[in-house]
Structure 1
Amino acid sequence: MDKQNYTKINETILKQEEMLVFPHFSNKDAWDLGCFLVNKVYESNESLAVAIRKLNGTMVFYHAVGNTNQNNQNWMNRKFNTVCLMERSSLGAWASSFLTGEKISTHGLSDSDYVLCGGGFPIRLKTGEIVAVLTVSNFPHQLDHDFIVKGLKEWLKMEDVPDLDLTLSYE
């Protein structure tokens, strides 16, 4: 994929991150949002693990649907770490890495603890503060991100948030 496509993807993700913000977010909100997303997974008859963690690492919601397993938890841990460090979605960090040439190792970090792929999204308040991270795992990484965005759009009742162009390559 050429730089122009990465730029387009990155701009779309930045807009998603800017728009998908919460007026407040409590442990009860995490439970309600998590249950909402898990019900979407069950309705689609898919397998996906869904987790919401506070920035201090406290798990406030977790549910594994279908054939998800410990490996999905490992991926979600790495996505969580990436979102916390980069303060943006893990797919946004992935797109930025191609535009800047930076890798996980550029920052002196380990691939066993961080990952540049979709499936992690910051729970940001309207004040700009990130208070939690939503992670999912089991779809191809661009579809993990797309599931999160579509779920948050519906949850927050924000139809004008742009969708990713899934016809582009996300390798």
Structure 2
Amino acid sequence: MTSEDYIKLNEIILKQEEMLRFPQFSNRDAWELGNYMVNKVYEKKQELAIAIRKLNGNILFQHCTEGTNLNNQNWMDRKYNTVSLMERSSLGAWAVAATTGEVVSTHGLTEKDYIFCGGGFPIRLKTGEMVAVLIVSNFPHELDHDFIVKALSDWLGIDNVPEIDLSLSY
């Protein structure tokens, strides 16, 4: 991919983050959204780990299908840390890093605790306030991100959310 491709990707992700916002978000909302996503996974006979955490790290929802393991939990921890620190999706952080040449250590962070790849998404209120992080793991990272975006689009009833081009090699 070219630098222009990453810039365009970042613009799409920023638009997704802007559009996919909640009127309110409670612990019960986390439970209902999490169950909705798990049911989607089972309907499609897929394997995925899904979690929703408050910004203080409190796990509001988590489910891991049979085909996932502790490694997926470790990836979710790193994605959560990235989203909560950068206050944007982990794929967005990855796209920016790809254009700037940054790596995790550029920010004084370690790859043990942070990762620039798709699968973490900020849960924001319509006011812009970030209140939680939605994390998934087990698909290739751009598909992790795409799963979140499609699930949130459906859940929130928001049409015309731009999609990333999955035909590109990320």
Cα deviation code 1:4-63 (max 9, x no counterpart): 111111111010001000000000000000000000000000100000000000000000
Counterpart Cα distance in 1 of 2:166 and 2:66: 24
* Structure 1 counterpart of 2:13: 13
**Aligned with 1:88: secondary structure?**
coil
Counterpart Cα distance in 1 of 2:146 and 2:66: 19
TM-aligned CA deviation for residue 99 of structure 1: 1.3
Counterpart Cα distance in 2 of 1:101 and 1:129: 29
TM-aligned CA deviation for residue 123 of structure 1: 0.3
2:67 maps to a residue whose letter is N
* Structure 2 counterpart of 1:168: 168
**Aligned with 2:28: secondary structure?**
helix
* Structure 2 counterpart of 1:152: 152
**Aligned with 1:105: secondary structure?**
helix
TM-score w.r.t. structure 2 length? 0.99
TM-aligned CA deviation for residue 159 of structure 1: 1.1
Identity in percent: 68
TM-aligned CA deviation for residue 66 of structure 1: 2.4
Task: Please say if residues 104 and 110 of structure 1, whose CA atoms lie closer than 8 Å, have aligned partners that are also in contact.
Answer: yes
**Aligned with 2:111: secondary structure?**
coil
2:149 maps to a residue whose letter is V
Q: How many residue pairs are counted as aligned between the two chains?
A: 170
Counterpart Cα distance in 2 of 1:13 and 1:168: 15
Question: Higher mean Cα deviation, 39-48 or 94-103?
Answer: 94-103
1:139 maps to a residue whose letter is F
* Structure 2 counterpart of 1:62: 62
**Aligned with 1:52: secondary structure?**
strand
Counterpart Cα distance in 2 of 1:161 and 1:41: 21
* Aligned counterparts, 1:44-63, within 5 A: 44-63=44-63
TM-score w.r.t. structure 1 length? 0.98
* Structure 1 counterpart of 2:133: 133
Q: Could you say what the CA RMSD is over the residues aligned between the two structures, in angstroms?
A: 0.6
